[in-house]
Every structure is written in structure tokens, then in C-alpha cells.
Homo-oligomer: A and B are copies of this chain.
């Protein structure tokens, strides 16, 4: 981490999280911060913009930057969070079972979702996620082979996301998420502990790389009582 504004951002996050900068007080002004960190005001402003976008402060014109009570945020804010990170953050021991791991010709549906040629092959991964002894989540991942040449059961039991970012150095850039509620399929009933529930929550994820190409489609199917999604929206100033 060599970027000055990212370092300043991270230092301020730490100060807020530890409570050295108290909630509901004001951050030092941008002019003060620029002197403290010996940098330009625009660089400070980049750090503060990040803090604001991630829910740590609220900037008020003519007044200052109010520090927000960050301990209210009991759940990941937004962005791309993997099951493993998520479960660990909540203090649970996650268990992942791989039910299927195959390289195949994509179905028409997947071909359309991933905008593939006729000769593209895809990895299909089907996993269930267990928390507190119950199979809560059914994850179906489709990854384009030309981007991910190799995939093993070990990787899938750990975190595909980790493998892509750290091993393959594929940098995920943006994802479109869609949430809907549907009737359970036969597969859902078979692989999940549905426990009498009549619906499953489906999160469809379209994951893009840095060059804007689409390379992964994921369906995460949750038992409705164990599903929770939190999102922040803010009027953005730059």
C-alpha cells in the first residue's frame, strides 16, 4: 500500500474503529489534516471521500466531517464479500461441501448469461454452505475456462474468490448483483435443509474483470430465514 491517500484513509479508519476519534465529533478540518499529513488538500479529500463512501464519516459543508458510530455496522457494508469472510466476521465456523466440480459445455442459459462463444467451456461448481450444522446456502458458480484454466476441490472448499485474486491474480473489478425470491427447485430441496420453508432467496452475481469482460456467474441460493442483506446508499460528492 503505497498510495498516500489510501494510507491516510486506512490510518483514519483505524483511529475511528479504536475510538481514538470519537463518534459524533468532528474530524480535524481538511486544512489541518493536510498540514498533519504533509500533503495537499486534494489528497486529503480523496481519503475523506473514501471514508464517506464507506460510511465512516458524513461531510457537512461549512461545518466539518462528522464521525459516524461505526460499531452500528454489524455486517459488511457492501461490495464483494465472500462466504468465508462473511462467516468468519460473524464468528461462525463455516463448512463447505463440494457437490459437483466439472468442466462442461455451458447450457444455453449460462451461455447467454456469460455471453459465450460455442467453443467456450465453463467450470461448474455446486457447493453447500453449512452454519451451525444446517445447510443454509446453495452456491452454483460458473467460471469461464479461458480465464480460469485449473480448479480443484480444495480450492472450492476454501475460497474460489481468494484463489482468483491471490493465485491467478485476476482482479475483480465490479459485480452486478440481483436479488429475487423464488420457489425452491428439486435441487434446493435435496441439497439444503429447507426445514419447511416455501421460498429461497436467490442472489445472482455477475462478476467482471478489470477489462470489463464478464467471467463468472454465480447463483447463491439462501434459506430465507438465514438471509440478510445490508446496503448503503449515499448522495455522492467528489
Contact = CB atoms under 8 A, between A and B. Distances in A.
A227 B178 CA distance: 10
As for how many copies of this chain the complex holds, the number is 2
Interface string A161-178: 000000000011111111
B173 A232 contact: no
B176 A63 contact: no
Contacts of A132: none
Nearest to A81: B233
A24 to B, nearest CB: 8
Interface residues of A, number: 48
Interface of A: 5, 42, 46, 49-50, 53, 55, 58, 60, 63, 66, 68, 78-80, 171-182, 197-199, 201, 208, 210-212, 224-225, 227-236, 238
Given A177-B231, A181-B227, 19 more contacts: A58-B173, A58-B174, A58-B210, A66-B211, A78-B233, A80-B235, A173-B234, A174-B232, A175-B232, A177-B230, A178-B228, A179-B230, A180-B227, A181-B224, A181-B225, A199-B199, A229-B229, A231-B231, A238-B238
